[in-house]
Amino acid sequence: MAGGIAPRILCIGIPVRDLTFRVEAVPARGSKANATHLAEICGGNALNAAIAMARLGGRVSFAGPMGDPGETSSGFILDRMAAEGIETSHVVRMPGATTPVSAITIDAAGERTLTIYRDPALWTVTLPDADELLADCEAILVESRCGTFCVDLCTEARRRGIRVIVGVDRAMSLTDGLLNAASHLLFSSEQLQETAGVAGDGAALKRLAGLTPAFLAATRGPLGTIWLNETGALEETPAFPVQAVDTLGAGDVFHGAFTLRLAEGEGVREALQFAAAAAALKCTRHGGGPAAPQRIEVEEFLRNRR
């Protein structure tokens, strides 16, 4: 951070209004269960990451579509973004559209089951001009599902030397423009193997390395992260063992923390370790992005494990 000024990071995604229910066990089909807790939070991959980065000391702005200005969900989410210090002037409100809403069931082991509605109209959004979005920008973090409306922006960002980190939230097509527009691609193990069409994380990473110039990594929950270094060799970054109570948003927090450390000038090894610590702390707390840790907590967590 030159001069002590926090890096500005642009997050691109589609925010979601989450209703979370805690249960002892996910109910079987056709049955019902009483929840022990209900929470209403804001979510979505990029927004969870944005909250994490803001908590960790980044200057974060958000771009992407949201529903009609008159609906309840978009106003709810914008209020919470403002409370986290996330800049929202680049959010596009789309008349007649609906902001996504999800119902999330979290069992006693912390695993979650989701049902979500996303309005197809949201993918027709036109983002603001690149000069406006990329001014004073150190990095972009984007949900892979948003490639349809932001590939050109990401390509321009790379032309300007700005990092583009893609949090892959579903299997990608091998013709997806983000494969070439990204500087860093962060998969989960399942999404990686499905995208590559190859069993085994190492083999899948090496296959994708022939299709994209981006840094490639795959998160594997408690098994840590596997990635390819600058020579093309496989390396692993261990996860930190914790007693998990809720994994919702952990991957997004990982992506946000990784992106922030890169924007602060750190290399991928340190960024991956920092991200692992942030994600581990998040898993010890209920809630998605709003359960992301503060910077001082992550730094103390790492000090105590060295």
Instruction: Give the residue-averaged pLDDT of 143-159.
Output: 96
Q: Work out the mean pLDDT of the chain and round it to a whole number.
A: 94
CA atoms of 187 and 7, how far apart (whole Å): 24
pLDDT of residue 303: 93
Residue spans of beta strands (DSSP E) within the chain = 8-12, 16-22, 37-43, 59-66, 87-93, 101-106, 112-117, 139-143, 163-167, 184-188, 215-219, 225-228, 234-237
Both tokens assigned to 116: 């979500």
CATH of the domain at 297: 3.40.1190.20
Instruction: Give the residue-averaged pLDDT of 237-264.
Output: 94
In a domain, 221, yes or no: yes
> Number of folded domains in the chain?
1
Length of the chain measured in residues: 306
In a domain, 112, yes or no: no
pLDDT in tens, 23-58: 999 888 899 889 999 989 898 999 999 999 999 999
Instruction: Give the residue-averaged pLDDT of 123-134.
Output: 96
Counting residues of the chain whose pLDDT is more than 90, the rounded percentage is 85
Residue 87: domain span: 7-14+45-98+130-303
pLDDT at 3 over 60: no
In a domain, 163, yes or no: yes
CB atoms within 10 A of CB 229: 11
pLDDT of residue 1: 47
β pairing state of 234-237 and 225-228: antiparallel
H helix runs in 170-241, sequence order: 178-181, 189-196, 201-209
pLDDT at 2 over 50: no
In a domain, 134, yes or no: yes
pLDDT in tens, 169-187: 899 999 999 999 999 999 9
In a domain, 212, yes or no: yes
Residue indicated by tokens 């527009």? 181
